[in-house]
């Protein structure tokens, strides 16, 4: 049985005090939920405090990026070991904002996926088509290229640790959501690519999250789809109450 994982992505939001306040409230709201993975992605500055704030709870902390080198002359960057050493469990990689604003390629993202796994953490690999791709019927082609590029060279055992987040770029932060049927269709295509890369047994166990304006009002319907195994949530993860409702929809 694959695991449902509801992950928040705070992006460039929240001071440390705000992060601790939200997580303290969230802990109470999701206490006792065991059949859903609960993850919050926080900015680098808040990670240590966030890890401490959720200690002993069912919430795990993700970083939103990493640099794929162990150490060295990479001014301003943060290594996998640094994240691992403070208790970070997941790293969000290849988010469309990083692909767009920081020109991250599938090749570079692939280096990061490998570095995160080598350090003993779990990658959340984001993929997704832009509006022009969808409108020109290229969704399957674009997502396949991103998956094959992002997971290139991984063994089946390594791939089994990766969470894939399918996020149609046109639905991120726009209030537009893919219909559950539309999302399911692409999730199935994504899983088929994973089957061809790593075999049926591994692909069937991999968590594929949906992301793109997921909120309490649409989470139940999206999460009811056969191949949607959770969510990556931006805006609605900033408030404990709305994020907790989505977690409960994943139960
Ligand atoms: C995201 O940033 O990954 C995301 C899905 O954002 P939102 O939920 O705000 O669309």
The stretch 42-46 carries a mean pLDDT of: 98
For ligand 1, pick from 126, 219, 233 the residue to mutate: most ligand atoms within 8 Å of CB. Answer: 233
Banded model confidence at residue 10, pLDDT cuts 50, 70, 90? very high
Q: Is 213 in the pocket of ligand 1 (CB under 6 A)?
A: yes
Report pLDDT for 168: 97
Length of the chain, please? 251
> Is the whole model's pTM more than 0.75, yes or no?
yes
pLDDT 10s digits, 18-28: 999 999 999 99
How far does residue 102's CA lie from ligand 1's centre (Å)?
17
- Say what percent of the chain tops pLDDT 70: 100
Q: What is the pLDDT, as a whole number, of residue 176? A: 85
Mean pLDDT to the nearest integer, 206-215: 97
| Count of domains forming the chain | 1
Q: Is the pLDDT of residue 251 over 90?
A: no
Mean residue pLDDT of the chain comes to: 97
- HSE, side-chain direction, 13 A CA sphere, residue 168: 25
pLDDT digits (tens, 9 = 90+) for 89-114: 999 999 999 999 999 999 999 999 99
Q: How confident is the model at residue 1 (pLDDT cuts 50, 70, 90)?
A: confident
Reported as a pLDDT band with limits 50, 70 and 90, residue 185 is: very high
Ligand 1 pocket, mutate which of 93, 94, 173 (most atoms under 8 A from CB): 173
Instruction: Give me the CATH number covering residue 18.
Output: 3.20.20.70
pLDDT tens digits along 190-207:
999 999 999 999 999 999
**CA angle, 125 as apex, 115 and 208 as ends, to 5°?**
135
C-alpha 40 to ligand 1 mean position (Å): 13
Domain that holds residue 150: 4-249
**pLDDT per residue over 75-91, tens digit each?**
999 999 999 999 999 99
Alpha carbon nearest to ligand 1 atom 4, residue? 234
Query: Does the Cβ of 139 fall within 6 Å of ligand 1?
Result: no
DSSP codes joined into one string, 183-229: HHHHHHHHHHHHHHHH-HHHHHHS-EEEESS--HHHHHHHHTSTT--
């Amino acid at each position: 049985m694959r695991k449902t994982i509801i992950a928040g992505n705070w992006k460039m939001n929240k001071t440390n005090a705000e992060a601790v306040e939200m997580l303290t409230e969230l802990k109470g709201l999701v206490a006792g939920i065991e059949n859903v993975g609960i993850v919050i992605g926080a900015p680098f500055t808040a990670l240590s405090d966030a890890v401490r704030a959720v200690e002993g709870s069912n919430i795990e902390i993700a970083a939103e990026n990493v640099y794929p080198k162990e150490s060295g002359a990479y001014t301003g960057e943060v290594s996998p070991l640094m994240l691992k050493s403070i208790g970070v469990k997941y790293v969000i990689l290849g988010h469309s904002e990083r692909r767009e604003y920081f020109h991250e390629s599938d090749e570079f993202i692939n280096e990061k996926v490998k570095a995160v796994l080598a350090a003993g953490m779990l990658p959340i690999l984001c993929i997704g088509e832009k509006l022009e791709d969808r409108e020109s019927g290229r969704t399957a082609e674009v997502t396949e290229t991103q998956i094959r590029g992002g997971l290139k060279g991984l063994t089946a055992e390594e791939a089994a640790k990766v969470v894939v987040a399918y996020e149609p770029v046109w639905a991120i932060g726009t209030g537009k959501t893919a219909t559950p049927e539309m999302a399911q269709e692409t999730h199935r295509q994504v899983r088929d690519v994973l089957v061809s890369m790593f075999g049926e047994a591994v692909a069937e166990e991999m968590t594929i999250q949906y992301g793109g304006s997921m909120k309490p009002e649409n989470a139940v319907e999206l999460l009811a789809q056969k191949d949607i195994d959770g969510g990556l949530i931006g805006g609605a993860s900033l408030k404990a109450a709305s994020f907790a409702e989505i977690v409960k929809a994943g139960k």
